[in-house]
Amino acid sequence: MHALINKRHFLQAAASAATVLATPRAFAIGNPSYPSRSVKWVVPYAPGGATDVLSRLLCQRLSDRLGQTFVVENKPGAGSNIGTQAVITSAPDGHTLLLTSTANAINASFDPALPYDFAKGIAPVAGVARIPLVLVVNNDLPVNSVADFIAYAKTNPGKMSIASSGIGTSLHLSGELFKSLAGVQFIHVPYRGSAPGLTDVMSGQIQGMFDNVTSSFELVRAGKLRALGVTTRERSEILPDAPPIADTLSGYETSSFYGVGAPHDTPREIIDLLNREIDAALSDAEIKSRIAGLGAIPLHGNASEFGGMLTAETDRWRKVVELSGIRKQ
């Protein structure tokens, strides 16, 4: 009789183990009811570009792993503020997420009328990627290095124009930091997005631009623009011939970044589950290849580490905003 009871207990335990293994990870770890419906992944920008590519890659992975659909929802406007505020005011249940970015770190000090406190309103979930910027110039400009560019700007004060994707963007403020550290002057020309600025640099109407490598590296490779240097301290694998600007201009460093946030008070077990899944996705061979193809660098780590990075980036850009003396009007 004792042997029969042990055998029955063994079979019951084996059946339970099989059920756990066959169940999506979301239901085996953490909150057993999450996600209970589709999840909105809010991208506070218009469709297209690296933000959508990164978001759709991760949403497909999360959909496959967690048993519910993760849907990209574009909410552009007001320098990412519309989409960010929509997430901050959503229910803190993990079913509305935000693609956080450099804009959130910049707006904390650049926009004095910001209708929310990003640091208090958003709980950090996971990093996604860091993207170097690159200083590109028109091919006819007689410069071949960052040192040449600085020398040319000093001998032609106020005669050079530098494009950006808009006032208060990382592209704009990277130029302002460069001006301050190099002691040069050039005219800032803001555009509605990166593409029209690059077009005018290629045509010669504008002399140069600080741009994300994701949108400019193909133009450099095609010989339509000249890359003088990248804004990170390491070279970019996608533009290996462009040295760090810091090699010439000590202390210079900027970049763009993307991550994931959730409304404040989202349960820790949901945040930790999402962090584990996103971090694992960034190690997937196919996703790693796609990210590398964009010129981006995966950001690994737990939620607390990503939160520390957000704080550091917010402090970094606050100093740049203060240095530039420019605020949103």
Q: Which of 9-13, 48-52, 106-110, 127-131 has the lowest mean pLDDT?
A: 9-13
- Is the per-residue pLDDT at 15 higher than 80? no
- Is the per-residue pLDDT at 76 higher than 60? yes
The confidence band for 328, taking pLDDT boundaries of 50, 70 and 90, is confident
What is the residue-averaged pLDDT of the chain?
90
In angstroms, how far is CA 185 from the centroid of its own chain? 29
Distance CA 68, CA 64 (A): 8
Distance CA 28, CA 42 (A): 26
**Mean pLDDT of all residues in 251-262:** 97
- Is the per-residue pLDDT at 241 higher than 50? yes
Distance CA 177, CA 240 (A): 23
Helix, strand, coil % over all residues of the chain, rounded to 5: 45, 20, 35
Burial of 284 (0-12, 13-18, 19+ CB in 10 A): middle
User: Fold match between 31-130+256-324 and 133-247?
Assistant: yes
Neighbouring CB atoms inside 10 A of 64's CB total 12
pLDDT at 20: 35
pLDDT at 32: 64
User: Domain extents for the chain?
Assistant: 31-130+256-324, 133-247
Q: For the domain 133-247, what is the CATH superfamily, name and number?
A: Periplasmic binding protein-like II (3.40.190.10)
pLDDT at 158: 84
**Mean pLDDT of all residues in 138-163:** 96
- Is the per-residue pLDDT at 291 higher than 90? yes
Q: Topology of domain 31-130+256-324, per CATH?
A: D-Maltodextrin-Binding Protein; domain 2 (3.40.190)
**Mean pLDDT of all residues in 176-182:** 96
- Is the per-residue pLDDT at 162 higher than 80? yes
**Mean pLDDT of all residues in 56-82:** 95
**Mean pLDDT of all residues in 200-216:** 97
The neighbouring-strand residues paired with 126 are 260
C-alpha distance from residue 145 to each of 126, 152, 242 (Å): 36, 10, 9
